[in-house]
Copies of this chain bind each other. A is one copy, B any other.
């Protein structure tokens, strides 16, 4: 079955110079995939030509006259730039022309535009951002929310757990993914009020067999791979994600500079190059690029803004895998089963005409 993904080609720090090579490389890997490239048509054509792919049979171009800048306020992304490549890429999903959209644009803008265009799923109060981190067991640890919701109530975290669990199930084929609640200790008495109340909700789901709740986990459990999924609010998740990225960059810089220090260290690096390559590959954040915006009526994936082509291709691959595994249908089914009635009126950005 052919799966179509729409790409916001203008988003991110590098725009076309990253998104086009990534798209071409992705199509080489996935023979069943088709891409809709969204953005300035002439510029996209020119970039495709550079890579001798201007007549690719599985690429179509959808012109969009505007682009959302990384520092555009939400209002501008939402209300002023109605023909932005970001918005038009998401509209392809809404119109059924693509099964998922990918953008490296501003996270807040992408979430606002996606909520406006696609709307939130029935039963979900707030969409969340879910991504993966490497762990010592060799698998990915899924984690959400990574920044969409900075002030959360227990029922929000509860919904994140349900959505995340469905995503892990669909993407990894794990029957009953284990769920950890991020906390400052593993004992029940630990944590702030929101986390303590969330724990009770998840425990109740566990007891009736609806979710596989492991209990509290700590920051280091993300990398131990203690649970398949780690749930937290968007403030904690975002700070953790960026701290970890910061440490990884620090580590990489130290590694590089120390091995370049003198002829012996360079020689050592040369001889041990397979080890260094393996280290870089195992710790490469590029392989973990591509966060899901979960809880919308359609699949949207967010790439890191500073992603290079290799890394952006991973985001496309994740979107493709999600579409292929029919994550959206599984989400709908399982949320209808598991989700308690919504306790708040979903607020969509309103009066955008």
Contacts and interface: CB of A to CB of B under 8 A. Distances in A.
A32 interface: no
B251 A222 contact: no
B248 A219 contact: no
A238 interface: yes
Interface string A248-265: 111101110011011011
Contacts of A234: 184
Given A234-B184, A240-B240, A246-B220, A265 B275 contact: yes
A51 interface: no
A55 interface: no
Given A272-B267, A282-B254, A244 B242 contact: no
Contacts of A346: none
Contact of A150 (B184, B271, B275): B184
B193 A220 contact: no
B254 A283 contact: yes
A274 B283 contact: no
A251 B244 CA distance: 11
A273 B190 CA distance: 43
A238 B184 contact: yes
A219 B192 contact: no
B258 A243 contact: no
B265 A249 contact: no
A239 B219 contact: yes
A223 to B, nearest CB: 4
Nearest to A241: B219
Given A219-B245, A220-B245, A258-B278, A184 B268 contact: no
Contacts of A221: 246
A235 B269 CA distance: 40
A36 interface: no
Stoichiometry, as copies per complex, reads 2
A251 B251 contact: yes
A250 B219 contact: no
A151 interface: yes
B270 A191 contact: no
B267 A271 contact: yes
Nearest to A266: B272
Given A272-B264, A272-B269, A274-B264, A243 B246 contact: no
Nearest to A235: B192
A247 interface: yes
A279 B264 contact: no
Contacts of A219: 238-246
B247 A218 contact: no
A218 B242 contact: yes
Contacts of A190: 150
A235 B184 contact: yes
A274 B262 CA distance: 10
A147 interface: yes
Interface string A9-31: 00000000000000000000000
* In the A-B complex, the 3 residue pairs with the closest CB atoms: A268-B272, A220-B246, A219-B242
18 contacts: A136-B250, A147-B184, A150-B190, A219-B238, A219-B243, A220-B242, A220-B246, A223-B246, A223-B249, A223-B250, A236-B239, A240-B240, A250-B283, A251-B283, A259-B272, A268-B269, A268-B270, A268-B275
